[in-house]
A and B are shown apart, each in its own frame.
Chain A
Amino acid sequence: MKRARIPVRLIGTIVGAMATFVAIMSAIGTQASCASSYDPNKTTAIVAPDYEIYKNYLDDFLDRRCGTLDCHGAPGRAYRMFGSKGLRLPTGTLFDVALVSGVQPTTEAEKRANYEGIIALEPEEMSRVIARNGENPLTLEFLRKPLGTETGQPAPGTRAIGERHKGGQVLDESDPGYRCIVAWLQYPVKLLPLDGAIPRDTGTPDTGAAPVDAGVTGDGSVSLGSPDLDKYCTQLPAYR
């Protein structure tokens, strides 16, 4: 009986591939073993957007638009919202009945948690966006997702700039809510720590622009500090 012969070239190729695999795995192992150990004092510096504008204008809008219990008002979401009509901030009581969904108004602590939740999605990218005064905000997934459709494909007659979003498209570029978010990201901020939650690194780069405080303008109207903030964010309380 004639025995089939395996070509020497094939054996060489297999041995070569195995050697490459072993080399890569060993390199990965070496890297891992050389990784620095956990440092509990190490912090990540961030440049955060303005909290007051978020609290007074955006939180309620985002809660209505995104924070239902079956969407981002669910505990397991990466972007997770707390609010009066959706998920409530845990209070540590039995069954968490101190704050009940649909009963008490949204608390300051819940708004703060929502604000920090947005930043915590992509803290480094948020810092970059704020540091460049909000230019090109679509590098943030927080903005790309609500512009995207459920399939990731653009709706007929529209262009696709968003990212696939299981809840479908909930914002578009002409939406006052979207314009308010963009104006909020463009608003120059003071570099402050997040109430100690994420300690500030003194080496944090400045945004380069002086913070603009809200105040009374020449015609007597109250300005939030930028025309877009005045134009879009002030519409939001009556807007769904």
Chain B
Amino acid sequence: MVRKYLLHIALCVGAAASSFGTSSCINDPVHNSAVNALGDETPGYPEESQYHRPGQPCTTCHWTQGPGSNKFVLAGTVFWGQCNITDQEALNPAIVKAKCDRQPVDRAEVRVLASKGGAKCFYTNCAGNFFVREDEWNGLTYPLLVSVSKKLSTGQYKVAKMSGHIGREPSCSNCHDNPARAVSPGQVYLYEYNEKGELALPAEAKALKCPPEAPNTDPPKECDL
């Protein structure tokens, strides 16, 4: 009789442990909600590729819990211009997207100086995206100092430096999202609006077609410091 009770108890404990274990592995509601909040893929960029979802927080998926297959220790998107929209426009996600997310910079150079682990430079691709996989920078330790530059057709460089440092956030857009407001300086950009309210972008500042519409030139991932 006692043996029978012990068997029941063991089965109950086992079932409970199994159900707790399972739920903690695949059912993190906070993570699931963050992934779902990203919504559908951005039109015009090949899905599930290095060119997808420019301007979105990469490490929501490309982190320990997935579902992205690679874990990034730093990733983001560089745009040509500052996003400048009114309060009223900010209420309409379509306007925010149209005015702020359409001009990624191809082959911008993202220079990163780590508190430990040295310094490295990474190129953005045609979607403006850059990313550093975990195994691509061993010993990378936050905080980081970051600058972004782009060699223009005139031969000159346009440089934008972060005024502060990155404490520990691996996704640029978790802080740099649109519109600029009390909790965000806006997307990462090279050119800002001048005092007249104009955004004087160079001629080459236009959205490029990314693969598969345009041939993938496959630029080198890392640049010179």
Contacting residues, chain A, for B186 (C-beta < 8 A): 102
State in angstroms the CA–CA spacing of A77 and B175 once bound together. 15
Asked if A93 is an interface residue, CB under 8 A from chain B, the answer is: yes
Within 8 A of B (CB), among A85-103: 85-91, 93-103
| B168 at interface by CB-CB < 8 Å | yes
A96 touches B182 (CB 8 A): yes
Interface residues on B, range: 20 to 34
Check B167–A103 contact: CB distance below 8 A: no
Q: CA of A68 to CA of B90 in the docked complex: distance in angstroms?
A: 24
Say whether B1 faces chain A, with CB atoms less than 8 Å apart.
yes
A93 is contacted by which of B87, B143, B185 (Cβ under 8 Å)? B87
Closest to B116 in A: A168
Q: Give chain A's interface secondary structure class.
A: loop
Residue-wise interface mask of A (93-135) relative to B, using a CB-CB cutoff of 8 A (1 in contact, 0 not): 1111111111100000000000000000000000000000000
A172 vs chain B, min Cβ distance (A): 14
Given that A64-B164, A68-B166, A85-B164 are contacting pairs, would A102 and B183 also be in contact in the complex, using a CB cutoff of 8 Å? no
Would A94 and B87 count as touching, CB distance under 8 A? yes
User: How many positions in chain A have a CB within 8 Å of any CB in the partner chain?
Assistant: 29
A101 vs B169: C-alpha distance in the bound complex, in angstroms?
17
**Which residues of B have CB within 8 Å of A89?**
182
Smallest distance from the beta carbon of A85 to chain B beta carbons, Å? Answer: 5
Please tell me if the beta carbons of B181 and A96 are within 8 angstroms of each other in the complex: yes
Q: How far is the CB of B44 from chain A (nearest CB, A)?
A: 27
A64 to B143, CA, bound (A): 12
> B137 within 8 Å of A by Cβ?
no
Shortest distance from the beta carbon of B194 to any chain A beta carbon, whole Å: 14
**Interfacial residues of chain A within 185-225, with CB under 8 A of chain B in the complex:** none
Please give the residue numbers on chain B whose beta carbons come within 8 Å of chain A beta carbons, in ascending order. Answer: 1-2, 87, 90-91, 141-143, 163-169, 174-175, 179-186
Residues of A within 8 A of B (CB): 3-4, 64, 68-71, 75, 85-91, 93-103, 166-168
